[in-house]
A and B are shown apart, each in its own frame.
Chain A
Amino acid sequence: MSIELRNVSFSYAGDRPVLRDVSFSAEQGGFLLIIGQNGVGKSTLLKLLNGILKPTSGQVLVNGVNTATQPTSRLAKEICVTFQNPADQIFASTIRAEVEFGPRNLRRKNVDQLVDDALVLCGLDALASHHPYDLPSAQRKLLTVASAIASGAPYLAFDEPSAGLSQIERSVFEGLLTALKKEDRGMIVVSHDLALLLPYATAVLILARGEMIYYGNAEVVTQQDGLIRKAGLRLPLPYRLEKLFGK
C-alpha cells in the first residue's frame, strides 16, 4: 500500500516542463517532506497526487491504481490533499459542519466519530459550534488540518501546514503528527518549516527547478549543507549553530 510516482513529468499546455522525471514512493506510517524554493513545482506535485492534474508522462499510482484513469472524487478516498490557503475551502457556518464535509462526501460510515477525533486532535473540540471566522487565522489553519484528518483517508498531503502557526498551535501540530504516525497514516508534506518538521520526516525529497536533486533519509540533509544550498535553501539557524559547535 503506497503512493508512487514513476518517472513523472508535467508541463502545462504548451509551456516548458514544471516537473521532470520525478520518482518517489510514500508509505503508510511514513512522513515524506518535500522541500524546495517557491515556484519549483511543489504545488503542482501535490495536484498530481490526487488526480487534479494528470502527468504528461510517467505514472502516479495510488495503492496501485493509476490516477490517470480515476476522477479526483474517487481518489480523495485514498488521499486527502489540503492546500495552503484556508480561505479557499472554509465555507460552513460551524466548525463541526466544516470538518464533516469531507467524510460525508466520501460516504464514510462513522462520520461523527471521525469528526470528534479530528477535533480533539487539533484542539478544536471546545469550539465545534463556533463560526470558523471567529477563530484567529492560526487556528483556521488547524481547522483545515482537522478537515483532512476527519476525511479518513489513509494518506494526507499538506501544503505548508505550519505556516502562520504560533507556539501553541505548533505544539498541537507536533502532537497530531505523532498520533497520525500511530494510526499508520502516510503523510506527504510540502514545507519550508524545516525546524519543526525535519525531526519527524522519514524521507526527504528536494526539488530544484522541477528536478529531484535528492530523495532519501532526513539525516543526510542536515549533514550535507551543500545539498540544501544547491536547492537555493538554508538550514534553520539552530542546525547551523549545531554544526558550528560541532567544530
Chain B
Amino acid sequence: MSTGQSLSRKLALVLLLWVCAFTLPWTIQASLCVVLIIARYAVLPLRPITPRSAKAFSRFILYSIAVATFIILLNGLLIKEGAVAAKVFGIPLHKEGLLFGARTASRLLLLSFSILLFFVSTSLPDLIEHLQTKGLPPYLALVLLLTLHFLDQLPARIHQIFLAQQARGAPVDSGLLSRTKALFSILSPLVLSSIVESIERGTALELRGFLQRPQVARVIKRSESETDWLTISLILLALAVLIYRIVQWLIA
C-alpha cells in the first residue's frame, strides 16, 4: 500500500467515525472508542510513528477517560430527572443525567480519539505532499510546512529563550506576578524571531525550487493506479449511516 492510499483510507475512516459521532447511539460510539484504542496497537497504519507521539496519545486517552467520567457524574448530579440510578458518598445520581452525560462524553471521546489517532499515525510532511498531488496549491503547502516546522521546534526554542532571559536576571524562578511579567520577555522573542526565520525558511525553500515543484513528482506505483475499494467503501458507508439517520429522523 502506498503512502497516498494509506492517507486516503485513514482520512475516509476519520470521516466515517465523525459521522458516527453525530448519528449513532452512545453505546455504539463508546464501543467504537474501545475499538480505536485496540486499533492503535493492532492495526499497523494506525500505530503512532514516533515514541513521543505514542506517549502523548496514551496520556491523552487516560486524561480523556478521567474527563469523561467527570462529565457523566456531574450531569448525573445536576440533572435531577428520572430514577436515582446510584449513590456516590450518599449523593444521588439520576438516570437521565447520567445518560445525557454518557451521550456527551462518548461523542467527545470518539471525535477526539479519531482525529488524534490520525495525526499521531501520519507523517505530516507526507500528508502535505499527498494534498499537493490532490491539488493543494504549492504556496499553501509552503505555509503548512513552515507552520509544522515552527510547532516542531517550539519546545526547544522556548527553552533557549528562557535560558537567555534567565541569564539576564529575568525573574523566571520567583513569584507568580514576576513570572507573568517575565512571560512577555519570552513570548516576544519567540514571535519576532519566528516571523523572521519563517521568511528566511520560505526563501530557502524557494531557492530549492519548491514553488516550481511538479504536481505529481513521484512515479505512480501500480497499486496506486488500481481503484482503492477500501477508501470508496468507507466513504459510502459514511454516507449510508448519514442517510439512515436522516430517514429515521424523517419517519419519527
Binding site for B on A (CB under 8 A): 47, 50, 52, 71-73, 76-77, 80-83, 85, 87-92, 101-102, 105-106, 133, 147-148, 151
Contact = CB atoms under 8 A, between A and B. Distances in A.
A52 B189 CA distance: 20
Contacts, number: 78
Given A52-B163, A83-B164, A91-B188, A151 B169 contact: yes
A158 to B, nearest CB: 11
Nearest to B173: A71
Contact of B192 (A50, A73, A81, A91): A91
Interface in B119-139: none
A109 to B, nearest CB: 15
B170 A73 contact: yes
Interface string B101-112: 000000000000
29 contacts: A52-B163, A71-B173, A72-B167, A73-B166, A73-B170, A73-B172, A73-B173, A76-B166, A76-B167, A82-B164, A82-B168, A83-B160, A87-B196, A88-B161, A89-B161, A89-B164, A89-B189, A90-B193, A91-B186, A91-B192, A92-B188, A101-B168, A102-B168, A105-B168, A105-B171, A133-B192, A133-B196, A148-B168, A151-B168
Contacts of B167: 50, 52, 72, 76, 80-83
B184 interface: yes
Contacts of A102: 168-169
Contact of A90 (B163, B187, B192): B192
Contacts of A101: 168, 170, 185
B174 interface: yes
Contacts of B174: 73
Contacts of A151: 168-169
A201 B214 CA distance: 56
Contact of B160 (A82, A85, A92, A147): A85
B116 to A, nearest CB: 29
Contact of B168 (A47, A87, A133, A147): A147
Contacts of A106: 169
Nearest to A88: B164
Interface of B: 160-161, 163-174, 184-189, 192-193, 196-197
Contacts of A80: 167-169
B196 A91 contact: no
A47 B164 CA distance: 10
A87 B193 CA distance: 6
A81 B192 CA distance: 22
A47 B163 contact: yes
The 5 closest A-B pairs by CB, nearest first: A91-B188, A87-B193, A76-B169, A105-B169, A88-B164
Most B C-beta atoms less than 10 A away, residue of A87, A90, A147, A151: A87
Contacts of B170: 73, 101, 105
A50 B192 CA distance: 26
A73 B165 CA distance: 10
Nearest to B191: A91
B169 A52 contact: no
A151 B166 CA distance: 13
B180 to A, nearest CB: 14
Contacts of B192: 87, 90-91, 133
Contact of A88 (B171, B173, B189): B189
A45 B168 CA distance: 17
Contacts of B187: 91
Given A101-B185, A133-B192, A133-B196, A89 B173 contact: no
Contacts of A81: 167
Which has the most chain A C-beta neighbours within 10 Å: B160, B167, B173, B186? B167
A105 B167 CA distance: 11
Pick from A47, A101, A151 the residue with the most CB of B within 10 Å: A101
Nearest to A147: B168
Contacts of B186: 91
A172 to B, nearest CB: 21
B193 A73 contact: no
Given A73-B173, A89-B165, 8 more contacts: A73-B171, A73-B172, A73-B174, A83-B160, A87-B196, A89-B161, A105-B171, A151-B169
